[in-house]
Amino acid sequence: MAEQDDPHPAVSYVMPVLNEAGYIETAIRSVLDQDYVGDKELVVALGPSNDGTTEVVTALAAADPRIRTVPNPDADIPAGLNRAIRASANPIVVRVDAHSELEPGYTAAAVATLRRTGAANVGGVMFARGKTAFQKAVARAYNSPFGLGGARYHGGAKEGAAESAYLGVFRREALERAGLFDETIRRGEDWELNLRIRWGGDTVWFDPELKVTYWPRENWPKLARQFFATGVWRAELVRRYGGRNPWRFFAPPLLVLSLAASVVIGILQLTGVLHGRLGLVASAVYLAPILYLLLVLWVALTQDAVKPWRDRWLFLVVLPTMHVSWGAGFIVGLIRGARGINDTSRTEI
């Protein structure tokens, strides 16, 4: 492999973009300002933005020959990534996101880890941050093991082989051998690609020294839509790959089912349909929602005591929104599949 003989192989960054006017310039600057001596190029897959994103990227590309663009008319992330990958040329492919910012030494450290481990893909820690009070509460949930289920790249796990990686720094030959991203999958495409990479005998590697800043959704409707779509597509992956999905993905839908059962049982008790000993036994259904509420209260009010009270109360809104939206989406996706469902949190206000 040529890149093993060169300590600083040329790198291609690939970035799908849709309606990111508030973040795109900073994201691109974080790529171009990487402290890496090898050659660099950035290929941006431009979706049909309506907020001025395309104009910002076009102006940046006109001023810097390292930036190139390709059209991504369908706006789907996997299709945009594949278009950008095919338009790129270098032996190392770095996936970047318009809602993220790379640390200056990210590329150099990732390439060094690729060389040291022989892995096909290397990823690190997604560190969420916020600008507004609501976005900060969402970021806190992302960074908490109670928020997104404790995947390695959300916390401080030890370095080693992993099931998936956040974004990813790939050897091109391994990426092409796996067949690039599956364009029939609109969410969870990273996990699915890394599954195929591992099936092919290659290694996916987690390095906690690699850190990427991520800016989550800015308001409640966007957050709810994002997590509903993510839940739907996770269920689609369960339908396709069954037990190869981690157990933590099933916790939110179980929560939603317990909430729904509690509502039904409550109505039946209030109307007198359920009463006596049978009604008492049926009351056991309330246990799961009560325990969940107590857990959320404990996490919100006792963890990270330096947070102001407003942030703690916002967290009480954010965390259940993420879990219930994700769980509801998962149930919908498990029943009917993910056909026609997409993440509209980038296309609607």
CATH superfamily, domain at 2-216: Spore Coat Polysaccharide Biosynthesis Protein SpsA; Chain A (3.90.550.10)
Q: Are 40 and 67 in contact (CB under 8 A)?
A: no
Confidence class for position 1, pLDDT limits 50, 70, 90: very low
DSSP class of 130:
-
**What is the pLDDT, as a whole number, of residue 322?**
94
Q: Strand runs (DSSP E) across the chain, as ranges?
A: 11-17, 40-46, 67-71, 92-95, 100-102, 121-128, 160-161, 166-171, 204-214
Which tokens is 280 given?
Answer: 């008492």
Give the C-alpha distances (Å, rounded to integers) separating 83 from 97, 231, 242, 284, 333.
15, 26, 29, 52, 27
Confidence class for position 2, pLDDT limits 50, 70, 90: very low
CA 343/CA 233 separation, integer angstroms: 10
Whole-number percent of the chain with pLDDT over 70: 91
Q: Are 205 and 119 in contact (CB under 8 A)?
A: yes
**What is the pLDDT, as a whole number, of residue 80?**
95
Task: Give me the chain's average pLDDT, please.
Answer: 88
For residue 318, pLDDT over 80 is answered with: yes
Give the strand pairing for 166-171 and 40-46.
unpaired
Confidence class for position 306, pLDDT limits 50, 70, 90: low
The structure's pTM equals 0.85
SS3 344: coil
Considering the chain, tell me which residue range(s) the CATH 3.90.550.10 domain(s) occupy: 2-216
Which tokens is 256 given?
Answer: 């939603």
CA 175/CA 197 separation, integer angstroms: 8
CA 91/CA 279 separation, integer angstroms: 65
Higher pLDDT: 143 or 245? It is 143
Buried b (16+ CB within 10 A) or exposed e, 172-182: bebbeebebbb
CA 5/CA 18 separation, integer angstroms: 37
Give the model confidence (pLDDT) of 81-106 as tens digits: 999 999 999 999 999 999 899 999 99
Mean pLDDT, residues 254-282: 89
For residue 140, pLDDT over 90 is answered with: no
